[in-house]
Amino acid sequence: MELKKVLLLCNILFLHLMLLIKHSYKNVKIMKRACYLLLSLIFWSGCLLAQSVDRRQLIDSSAVEYLRIVGSQSALYYGKAQEGHPRTTNHPYLKDALFTKARLSYFGVIYPEALLRLDLSRDELIVSPGFRNIVLFSENVDFAELHGRHIIYFRRDSLPGSPSTGFYFLLHSGKCRVLEKQTAVFTFSSSTGEQYYALSTNFYLYKDGIYHTIRNKRGLLKVLHPYKKELKRFISAHRWQFRHDAEELIKQTVSEYEKLSGSL
């Protein structure tokens, strides 16, 4: 599987070289170095067949070297510029308004040190090459690991209860699946004149072909039948409270359910 990723990276690099030829044909030095990296990747992809190596490290280091060579001309940085937000007392981004180094898989290519931030208001993942902020094409995002979150782009399907299309945190993935959606809504207070973003969180549990919206502990235990009593004791033993520990409570309880039901 990792060998396929290396070969895919080679193909993407080749396409990027074509973009360099089209847009920056005068920069011969960059093109030569990018060509050298492409040939090196092809060589290493063959080596993977003959010896055991740290495949993830190879893929990540190759991607870092590629970005270092082509810089802002990478195809990752082709897209529309992010629009500004109104002045408010808080911001609509996940955890931090500043760009943070993250591991991104975009169109099948790994970028281990992409500078990202997630806009919870517009449901956009933004990358910054340093000189402007660019909105990524959501459909091309495989996943992003940002602020300790595993972020995926979920596409709404025809199953009952399916949440809407957008960026979600994948909290658990087994026979059951747990998704978390955080949203920031622009709000204006007529009494104080204050403008701010109101944050909200929703949890979705996929089980037996149905998506369930989880609003409290009672609703979670109802879905995870017939182990309600066992799971209730499990939650009590860890002293989790849904109001304060919703994420941990849900994902750990679902994991325990899979153990009890023999799903794993």
Q: What is the DSSP string of 200-235?
A: EEEEEEEETTEEEEE-SHHHHHHHTTT-HHHHHHHH
Question: Under a CB-based contact definition with an 8 Å cutoff, are residues 224 and 257 in contact?
Answer: yes
Question: Under a CB-based contact definition with an 8 Å cutoff, are residues 160 and 211 in contact?
Answer: yes
8 and 113 in a single domain? The answer is no
149 and 244 in a single domain? The answer is no
How many of the other CB atoms lie within 10 Å of CB of 23? 11
* pLDDT at residue 72, as a whole number: 44
Q: Which of residues 57 and 228 earns the better pLDDT score?
A: 228
Q: Which residues contact 88 (CB under 8 A, 6 or more apart)?
A: 186, 195, 196, 197
User: Which amino acid belongs to residue 155?
Assistant: R
95 and 24 in a single domain? The answer is no
Q: What is the pLDDT of residues 100-124, one digit of tens each?
A: 999 999 988 899 999 999 999 999 9
227 and 168 in a single domain? The answer is no
* pLDDT at residue 130, as a whole number: 78
Mean pLDDT value across residues 213-234? 96
* pLDDT at residue 76, as a whole number: 81
Q: CA 187 to CA 192: how far, in whole Å?
A: 12
Q: What is the pLDDT of residues 190-222, one digit of tens each?
A: 888 899 999 999 999 999 999 999 999 999 999
Domain that holds residue 164: 79-214
Q: What is the pLDDT of residues 25-81, one digit of tens each?
A: 444 444 455 555 555 555 555 555 445 456 666 666 666 665 565 554 466 888 899
What angle is formed at CA 208 by the lines to CA 204 and CA 210, rounded to 5 degrees?
45
241 and 131 in a single domain? The answer is no
Output helix, strand, coil percentages for the chain, rounded to the nearest 5.
Answer: 40, 30, 30
Per-residue burial over 26-35, b = 16 or more CB atoms within 10 Å of its CB, e = otherwise: eeeebbebbe
129 and 173 in a single domain? The answer is yes
* pLDDT at residue 77, as a whole number: 81
Question: Under a CB-based contact definition with an 8 Å cutoff, are residues 133 and 118 in contact?
Answer: no
* pLDDT at residue 64, as a whole number: 64
* pLDDT at residue 19, as a whole number: 47
53 and 124 in a single domain? The answer is no
Q: Which residue has the tokens 């609509």?
A: 92
Question: Under a CB-based contact definition with an 8 Å cutoff, are residues 111 and 62 in contact?
Answer: no
Residue 17 pLDDT grade (very low, low, confident, very high; cuts 50, 70, 90): low
106 and 116 in a single domain? The answer is yes
Report the percent of the chain where pLDDT is more than 90: 64
* pLDDT at residue 78, as a whole number: 80
**Total number of domains in the chain:** 3
Q: What's the mean pLDDT when you consider all of the chain?
A: 83
Question: Under a CB-based contact definition with an 8 Å cutoff, are residues 19 and 75 in contact?
Answer: yes
User: Which amino acid belongs to residue 116?
Assistant: L
Q: Which of 41, 73, 105 is the last residue of a domain?
A: 73
Judge residue 250's burial from the number of C-beta atoms within 10 Å of its C-beta, 0-12 exposed, 13-18 middle, 19 or more buried. Answer: buried
Q: Which residues contact 157 (CB under 8 A, 6 or more apart)?
A: none
166 and 235 in a single domain? The answer is no
189 and 241 in a single domain? The answer is no
Q: Which of 33, 58, 73 is the last residue of a domain?
A: 73
203 and 220 in a single domain? The answer is no
103 and 202 in a single domain? The answer is yes
Nearest to 114 by CA among 167, 168, 60, 183: 60
